[in-house]
Structure 1
Amino acid sequence: MSRPSPTDSPAPETQFEEGTSVHGGRPTFGLRRYQDEGQPIVVLYELLPAEQAHARRERHERRGRSITIKEFNELFDDPPMIHARGAEWDDWAAMKVARLSGSRLQSVLPVIREALGEAGIEHSPVSSTEGGEVFVPERVGVKLALAFVGVKDLRRVDRMRGLSRGIARMSTEECYYWHAKTRSPTSPNGVKALRTLLTDHIN
């Protein structure tokens, strides 16, 4: 797997407990699982101050991309206060990364279980129950975001599984590099490049 050079790879934020130093230890991603007509759905959200979320949406809209943003308290009934050290969430937003179901969700579940397990976070609320929430630090969320956006529009199960396996093997540095490419409004082909890297060998 090709690795980014030190010169073009964005430096990850310093990790602090279960979040980042920038946001005072808050988790910066949230997973929410629910049932829709008997079908399990898992949605990954990035958590950030509402002002930053709306500014990012404006940048993407100028490039013709749409982003769904909701108030944190509109989605999550049980804020992760233990991880956030008692912080308030009133001025925070949840920006949807991707919504998965069916074979796409099944292909990503191993990545969810492994990434959360390595971080010491219980994955069952979003991997094996009818509904639940899990909040994760940035380094975990970045890896999950790659898996979610990578499989979102794939049709072949073998490619979904191949992409998920490739992301599971990525180092933290590689995940941050590809996350920056796939979410940047100035890099419209970032997701396509990621899929080519991890699935182009699958005929």
Structure 2
Amino acid sequence: MSVYPDEEQAGSFALGSSIYGGRPTFALVRDETGNEATITLYELLPTEQADARKRRLERRRRQSSKTHPFHEVIGEDVADTEDWTWDSWVAMKVRQLSGSRLRCLLQLFDEAFRDTDIDPSLITGTGSATVLIPEEPGVRLSLGFIGVKPLQRVDRMRALTRGVARMSLEECYYWHAKCRSPNSPNGAKALRTLLAKHK
């Protein structure tokens, strides 16, 4: 399943958002109502960058996610927010999951947070929670959230989750670029075909 992008593509994603100096660039928001839990993954971006992406998507007649002011989504008292200035940042929804899609993705949280100090139970437990996460686990989780969203069969959801969990970090960045780029409209479909044999 190994995918090796060419040198030009590798240069475009290898740095990721390291230019932000270690700032978290993703957030997970868990909401629980009654017996139903939903988890929403957001990508955190400077307003200028989010607006530029939105314009590129609109030029290619592709739907873009609505952006929300950072504190509207994240709140004021979430751990780690005080370490950074967020006034010119927005939260862009990647996907929201619940039910069987969310259950199939739970093992990916353990894999994504393995090399961090984030306790997966903050998100996979009960109640409401918001957690800021670094770019690397965020990129891996993005692939899971994007990949399982349209799937109907649980076996395909599990296959996709296992495939993403086994990917190297470089492969995750490559597929994240393909899935989120305005220039690659079929990136998510290609990922599902590769990992879950879904067309």
TM-based fold match above 0.5: yes
Residue in structure 1 matched with residue 179 of structure 2 by the alignment:
182
Q: Could you say what secondary structure the match of 1:66 adopts?
A: coil
Q: Percent identity?
A: 50
Greater helix proportion: 2
CA distance in 2, matches of 1:66, 1:130: 30
Which region of structure 1 is more displaced relative to structure 2, 104-113 or 36-45? 36-45
What number of residue pairs does the alignment pair up?
194
Q: Kindly indicate whether the alpha-carbon contact (under 8 Å) linking 1:150 and 1:191 is maintained by their aligned counterparts in 2.
A: yes
Residue in structure 1 matched with residue 170 of structure 2 by the alignment:
173
Matched, 1:55 2:57: no
1:134 to 131, 134, 137: 131
2:31 to 19, 30, 34: 34
Q: Could you say what secondary structure the match of 1:130 adopts?
A: coil
Residue in structure 1 matched with residue 150 of structure 2 by the alignment:
153
**1:74-85 equivalent positions in 2, closer than 5 A:** 74-77=72-75, 78-81=77-80
1:69 to 64, 67, 72: 67
CA distance in 1, matches of 2:5, 2:182: 22
- TM-score relative to the length of structure 2: 0.90
1:106 to 94, 103, 107: 103
CA distance in 1, matches of 2:2, 2:84: 40
Deviation at residue 58 of structure 1 after TM alignment? 1.8
**Structure 1 counterpart of 2:14, one-letter code:** P
5+ long unaligned stretches in structure 1: 15-19
Detail structure 1 runs of 4+ shifted over 6 Å in the superposition. none
CA distance in 2, matches of 1:131, 1:149: 22
- TM-score relative to the length of structure 1: 0.89
Q: Could you say what secondary structure the match of 2:160 adopts?
A: helix
Q: Kindly indicate whether the alpha-carbon contact (under 8 Å) linking 2:32 and 2:126 is maintained by their aligned counterparts in 1.
A: no
Q: Kindly indicate whether the alpha-carbon contact (under 8 Å) linking 1:143 and 1:175 is maintained by their aligned counterparts in 2.
A: yes
Summarize deviations over 1:93-114 as a string: whole Å, max 9, x none.
0011000000010111110122
5+ long unaligned stretches in structure 2: none
**Structure 1 counterpart of 2:112, one-letter code:** A
